Each structure stands twice: as structure tokens, then as C-alpha cells.
Structure 1
Amino acid sequence: MTYYFPPTGGGGVQRISKFIKYLARDGWEFTVLTSSEPNTLPEDKTLLNDLPENINIVSIPPAINNGVLSRLRARFRSGFVQRWLAAFFFLPDSRRGWARSAGRYVKQLCRRESYDVVFITAPPYSLAITASFLTDQLSIPVVLDMRDPWSTNPYKIYPTPLHKLLDKYLEKKSLKNVKYGISAYESFIEHIRKAYNVGGKWQYIPNGFDEDDFVDLKPLTLEKDRFHLAFSGTFYSHFNNPLLLFRIFSVLKKRYPGSYARLRFHHIGQSIPDITALAREEGCRDILYSWGYLDHHQTLNTLAAMDAYCVILDPGHPRASNTIGGKVYEYLRFGKPVLALIPDEGEAASLLNRGPGHLIVNPYEPDKAAAALDALINGAVDGNNWDEMLLNSFRRETLARQLHHFLKNLLNEK
């Protein structure tokens, strides 16, 4: 069960589609239940190429009409306000009705047909509640895949303290009942065991990169004698706001004008805040190149042409240490430097510190950060040439094999 599935694009879609791609090679067959609800994510039909021919895809229609919420959100242009409204009216998220309907469908399906495992990937966090429900209803194992942390996710918005309290209650109630789970983050497993005394069998299986995606890339031709820095992914207004980076560019422009003249910043993806207006505000509009959303193959061709990459996880956010961002693994595969505006400790820092070729800077110390960026532009940082064995541990094929063994082991326990 997955709410997001190809041809819907995005990093969350890739985790499940890559699992299916490689598990199918180990003999697994799939029926995928996904949503027929329209969503705000763009399409990426290239992701369909990962799916086996014999896959059975069932689209579940929306259980309720969220027309009132849609009209309310349409009155506000701010992406943050739109997300705040959804967070205010729905816990744990606006997909609760769909997840409940999909859960009932799975229960009926398992009565009619023979399956070995039900695999559910969240978010939406409503699907974690569905995993708890189906754990009680079915005789076969139900496995929950947590792609992101739940209440500790920095991207999550809590309109009031009561919303957070209720959300944590749902998290605790659901996860304590789940018997089998995997998580893309080690800290999430540690959190639920410590905070909620969650038992069950859980395994850490991180995100990664697919080596097949890097075959026959055709890097774009960009300006010569320039230093091309890229950020791939969605910019949000409250957690990875590009303003944190643009303020560093502003200092670089004043203190290191030669390096600034060489710099070109490329954004690949969507942006909730007006990225052009923010760049103009900080006086760096002249070095900004906005590519908009590109499909995964186009994104990799664009990233392949870059000199370095950027990660932004606001160190001032209390939950920033709990996430990484899926594109970081592909950055590492390219073997080029990474400029990281992240907390000194946490998931992202722990990953990057396992190898060379990165600079962790504090955006709230823009003078020091600009000096580090100047050094990066002038070649003081080598590429992140990681140990091959360590890098290969993040290949999607390797990660899918870990999931294969996890599933086989729990089936042998029956």
C-alpha cells in the first residue's frame, strides 16, 4: 500500500518503486494499492520504467470529498498557510479517509486471494494507522515502512500544542501495535523505542541511489569557467528556506567578489516561497538559475554537470537533526563536494561524516559560511570520493536485498 506511486514523481515514490524493481528480480510478485486522488506532486513517467511487467496496480478512489478544504486553501497563495490549514483540520494528515478505505479494501482482498505479506509505506502517516488496524485483522504479516520520522519530522507543521499532543498519541498508539517495521532513519527507531517503548521487529534500511540510473548519463553543457552549485528538491518556507543560503551568497558578494562572479546557483525542483524574490532581496538574483521540476532522468543529467551540491536543513529548527533528504545519496554517488547547511549532529551530519568531501556550515554565521564557500569555489575541497564498499552499501539493489532477507526471516517465523 502506498499513497504515492508512479507516474507521480518525487523522492518518496522512488523508495517504493526501487524496492519493487529489485524485489521482483528475487521472485516477489506485487499487487499495489495506490490512490486515484489528484495530488499536488508533478508526474514523472520515467519512474514507470522501474516496474515489472506483471505488476497489478489497483487505484483506490477518495473516500471523502475535501472540497471545503480545497476551497479554503485556494484562498491563500502562501504554501505554508495552505499546509497549516490541512494540518489544522486533519490528524495525522488529510489522507485519513483514504487510508481507512484502502485498509478495508486490503482486508477484503486478503480474504479472496492468497498473499504472503502486506507492505505499507508511510507517509501519509494515516497509513501507519492502517498498518496497525490490519495487524489486528489479518493472519499474514503486515510490515510498515517509515520513509520519514513522524512527530519528530521537521517538515511537519503543528498549528497548536494540542495538535502535536494528539499526533504523538496517534503515533504511539499505532506503532506500539505494529509488529514489523523498517525505517529510513536510525534515530526514528531509537525514538519510538525510547519514547513509546515500542516493541516489534524493526530494521534500519536507509534511502540510497540506483546505479542503473547513472548509466549513459548525458551531462548538460553549462557555462565554462564558472562554479556550478546545485540544490535538488523542494524549498519550503519554514525549514529549508533558500534565504539561509542566499544570505551567505550576499556576504560572499561583498567579501569575495571574485568568487561570487564565478558562482552559479542552480535549483532543480519546486519552491513554496518565491525563490526569485528572495534572491533579489539578498542581491543574488544574477547567479540564480531555476530549472523547475524535472523528471528523475533529466535531474540526474543536470546534476552530473555540476561542480558541487547543497543541502539545507535549518540548524535553528529543533527537529532538523532527524532527517537527511533523499537526494544526498545521489550527491554522494556523483563524487563531488557537498556544501551542507545542517546541524553539526544528527542524521545528515552522521551520514556525511562517514566520508570526505563535504563542508558543514552554520548559516547563522554567514561570514564563516561565506569563507567556507569561497574555499570550496577555489578548489580547497576535494570530491567526496568515498570508500567503494561503503558507497555500495547505499545502492538500491543492496537495500532491496536487505528488505528481501527481512521479509524472508519474518515469514520463516510463522
Structure 2
Amino acid sequence: MPPMYGPRATQVSRVLGRLARFGWQPTTICLAPRPGGPHWFDGASPDAPAGVELVRVPSPEEWFAVRAAWRVAPGLRDFPDSTRVWVRRAAHTAICLAAAGEYAGLMTFAQPWSDHLVGIRVHRATGLPWVAHFSDPWADSPYATPRQRSIWRRMEADVLREACAVVFVTEETADLVMAKYPGEWRKKVSIVPHGFESRSGGAPRPQDRRRPLRLAYVGRFYRGVRTPVALLRALAGLHRRESVAGTLEVLFVGPHVEEYERDAAALGIASLVRFRGRVSPAEAARVAADADVLLVVDAPGDGPSVFLPSKLIDYLPFRKPILGLTPETGASARLLRRLGCPVMRPDDVGGITSALADLIERWRAGTLDVGESFDRVAAEFDIAHTARLLHQVLLGAFTGAHEMRERGHISGIHS
């Protein structure tokens, strides 16, 4: 939850606020971050969504001694992540709240994955029906090390065994994760995509072709995994072929993007590219609104990509053309093609060069706009729609579990 930085905090806050409109009264146990600390970089304190109660619990993960221990023994953060030290406190708080009031059920959101460990403890102690929201793969994450996967498999299996319902944001992720478990467990799964809030700013501003075509990427990169290097090389190749100074500019905004300034300079395109570190969600929205084309950059891969990054969904209300650098098959590519947006492999420098040249040509011709299917497809990801899907999941999980308990099929307390 905000003020914690990142797309997951924004998504959870957004969906809980919408669930309150369906009559739910969410009590949310979340981190009490230190102002100005690693989880609250701007020190601003946002209000809770209407109808949502926040119960903030401090975490040892912000203690200097704990962070020093992680630097000495970084492997401690693999059980399953750095938030593990918060689990006991958060679970105790939830159990006390459940004892003092009437709750229909429990829902946990990852990441961090430690949230699901809180869920196991609370579910066992209270018997409350539990919905575990996965979003991305856990033990099957392509970014995990073999050691992490070996640790996470047991934790993941415990969560999937005990949760009453499990939510993923794509069919691809659900298929990947559930393939290794009994078929009966697959019946617990529901697909609820990320959702965006509609904008109140009106129609996009008219294009001014007297200025450069502006491409913007809002998000983070991971060195050696998800990077803009192929895009920078494509831009350099295009610039060598015919100067695009004054014709095209690219802006990268988000954590760790500045690490690639040196790459841009080495390629001779420093004047065409700007890098800004992490900014507030409001500023990130302004950057997206001012762009002419928005960029999605995923990690390359040999097979289909299971990921549907929330930033792609957050782009939709701006009604801008989106250039997707993502594996040719997978969740992101499927959505982008339905929207009528181009898709290129993240490591296909030649293909990216051609895509950039095509964008410039359409910009000059005044035909750079979203396709006919864009609005219809984007509407499927409006938070009003996706929150209703989650509302139905909660009703089914909580009502069904309570009925089973009344018939003696669910124990109220687990040791």
C-alpha cells in the first residue's frame, strides 16, 4: 500500500478502494514505513482509499542491524524475501483483529511473497477462508536462482494447498504455476487482470508535429535481465542511417534507468535520450500523458512470456500508441495485438529499428493514433470491471467456505 513505492502498492490500493464500492469493508494490514526511508522515499503521506481501514505494522526490515545482516549474508533474504521478518508481527496483528471483530475472510497479495506466509498463519489460527492473489509466478519465476526455487517450492505448495481460492492475472501464469500440482487444485484458480483507473483529463492533446516525436518508458530495468540496450542500439542504427536529431526523443523514467546513460553515450545518442530516476505516481502519469508513444520493454525469452506488467495496463487510459518489445507469444504480446499495437522481440535490433522508422513516418503523415479496437479491448481492464471480477471471486470463496464449515468440512483452528 502507498506510501510504499511501486506498481504493486498502487494496484492493491486501487483494487481495495473499488471493492469498498461493492460493499466490502477492507481492513488492510500493511507496512508502517519510516518517512524518508527505503520504502517511503518522498515522505508524503497519502490518504487511504475511501472505505478502506489501514492498520500499519512496523517491520524490522527497516532496522539498520537487519539490513546490515543482509549485506553480510544476502542469502537470508531468500526465505522467501526481505519481508519475512515482518511476518510474525503482521500475522499477530491480523489474528488479534479477527478475534475482536467479524470478518468474512482473508485475502493476501504478493509480492512480497511473505504476505502469503502471513496468510497461512492467520488462516490456520482463525479458520477464516483465504484468497491468495499471486499475480506473477513464484517458484517458477524465470528470474529466480536455483537455490531460491528450491526454497520457494515448498512455500508455494503450502499456500496453494491451503488457500480456498487463488488469483492470477493471466492464463499463462496460472497454467505455468498449476501444471505441477494436482488437477483438483486448478479448480481454485480465477483470472483477474490488473485494472486501471479512468482518467478525468479529457481527450489526449493534439499532436504538434513541429516538435520531436516523443517516446516514453515508465518503469524499471534489471541489469542483465530486462534492459533497454537493444532499443538503444536500434535507435543508434537509425540515427546513423539518417539523423533523427530534432525528429525523435526517448525518455526513460523509473528506478535504475540512469544506469544506461553510459550505454546511450557510447552509442552516440546521448542527445536523443533522457533518463530520470524514480518519480511519484502523479509525475509518472504526467510523463505518460505528455508522450506520443509509450514503450513496453520485457525480458527476452525462448518461449511464451507469462508476464502482463501492470505498467502496460496503466498505459491504457492515456489512449496512446504502444510499442511493445516483448516475446512474440505470451500475455503482453496477445494484449498488444488485440489493441492494434506493434510487437517486436526485445532482442531484435533490426525489427525495433524498422518499428521506430514506421512510427516516425506515421508521425510525419499525421496518422499516428490508436487502432479501432483499442478502446473496446482496453475497457476489459477498467478497474470497475476487474474489481467486479475479484468481488465475485471473494463471494464464491468466502460463502462456499462458510457453508462447508457449517457442514463440518473446515476446522476453525489449526495448530
TM range (shorter): 0.7 to 0.9
How far residue 110 of structure 1 moved from its aligned partner, in angstroms, is 0.9
- The aligned counterpart of 1:97 is 85
Post-superposition CA distance 1:177-228 (Å, at most 9, x none): 22212122222222232112234522111112101x3436997999943110
- Distance verdict in 2 for CA 1:43–1:403, change over 3 Å: farther
Pair 174,164 (structure 1): closer, same or farther in 2 beyond 3 Å:
same
Q: Does 1:342 align with 2:316?
A: no
Map 1:154-173 onto structure 2 (within 5 A). 154=142, 156-158=143-145, 161-173=146-158
Aligned to 1:374: 357
Give the Cα–Cα distance (whole angstroms) in 2 for the partners of residues 153 and 185 of structure 1: 14
Gap runs ≥5 in structure 1: 76-84
User: TM-score, normalised on structure 2?
Assistant: 0.84
Q: Which residue of 2 aligns with 1:242?
A: 228
Consecutive unaligned residues of structure 2, counting only runs of 5 or more, are 403-415
**TM-score normalised by L of structure 1:** 0.85
Is 1:58 matched up with 2:55? yes
The answer as to whether partners of 1:32 and 1:57 remain within 8 angstroms in 2 is yes
The aligned amino acid for 1:40 is: P
CA–CA distance in structure 2, aligned partners of residues 216 and 66 of structure 1 = 45
* Residue 406 of structure 2: aligned partner: none
Equivalent residue number for residue 115 of structure 2: 127
Secondary structure in structure 2 of the residue aligned to 1:285: coil
* Separation of aligned partners in 2, 1:68 and 1:386: 54
Which of the numbers 291, 307, 316 marks the counterpart of 1:332?
316
Instruction: Answer whether contact 2:2 2:46 (CA < 8 A) is retained.
Output: yes
Aligned pairs for 1:4-403 (under 5 A) are: 5-38=1-34, 40-42=38-40, 48=46, 51-52=49-50, 54-63=51-60, 67=64, 70-71=67-68, 86=74, 89-154=77-142, 156-158=143-145, 161-197=146-182, 198-199=185-186, 201-211=188-198, 213-215=199-201, 224-257=210-243, 259=244, 261-271=246-256, 274-316=259-301, 321-356=305-340, 358-379=341-362, 382-403=369-390
- The residue that corresponds to 1:79 in the other structure is none
User: Are residues 252 and 261 of structure 1, via their aligned partners in 2, closer, same or farther at CA, if it must alter by over 3 Å?
Assistant: farther
> How big is the shift at 1:88?
5.9
Stretch of structure 1 that moved more, 292-301 or 41-50: 41-50
Q: Distance in 1 between matches of 2:257 and 2:67?
A: 17
Q: In structure 1, what is the Cα distance between the partners aligned to 2:16 and 2:269?
A: 43
Instruction: Report deviation, 1:174.
Output: 2.3
* Structure 2 match to 1:81: none
| Aligned equivalents of 1:103, 1:270: Cα separation in 2 | 30
Q: Which residue of 1 aligns with 2:397?
A: 410
Q: Percent identity?
A: 22
Q: Is the 8 A contact 2:304 2:328 kept in 1?
A: no
Give the conservation status (yes or no) of the 8 Å contact 1:269–1:293: yes
**Cα deviations by residue, 1:386-409 (Å, 9 ceiling, x for unpaired):** 354432111011111111222222
Instruction: Quickly say closer, same or farther: Cα 1:214–1:243, change in 2 above 3 A.
Output: farther
Q: Following the alignment from structure 2 to structure 1, what is the Cα–Cα distance between the partners of residues 69 and 328?
A: 39
Q: How far 1:95 sits from its partner (Å)?
A: 1.1
2-structure distance, mates of 1:41, 1:288:
28
Report the Cα offset of residue 58 of structure 1. Answer: 1.4
Residues 36 and 62, structure 1, Cα contact 8 Å, conserved in 2: yes
SS in 2 for 1:393: helix
Contact 1:63–1:101 under 8 Å retained in 2: no
Count of aligned residue pairs for this structure pair? 393
CA distance in 2, matches of 1:111, 1:199: 31
Contact 2:337 2:343 in 1 (8 A): no
Question: Which residue identity is paired with 2:352?
Answer: A
* Cα offsets for 1:279-311 (capped at 9, x unmatched): 112221111223433322322222112111111
| Shift, 1:89, TM fit | 4.2
1:78 corresponding residue in structure 2:
none
RMSD (Å), alpha carbons: 3.0
Shift of 1:171: 1.7
Kindly state the Cα deviation for residue 103 of structure 1 after the two structures are TM-superposed.
Answer: 1.6
Answer yes or no: is the 8 Å Cα contact 1:120–1:131 preserved in 2.
Answer: yes
Distance 2:45 2:175 in 1: 32
In 1, Cα distance between equivalents of 2:280 and 2:371:
25
Which moved further from structure 2: 108-117 or 32-41? 32-41
Q: What is the CA-CA distance between 1:12 and the residue it aligns to?
A: 0.5
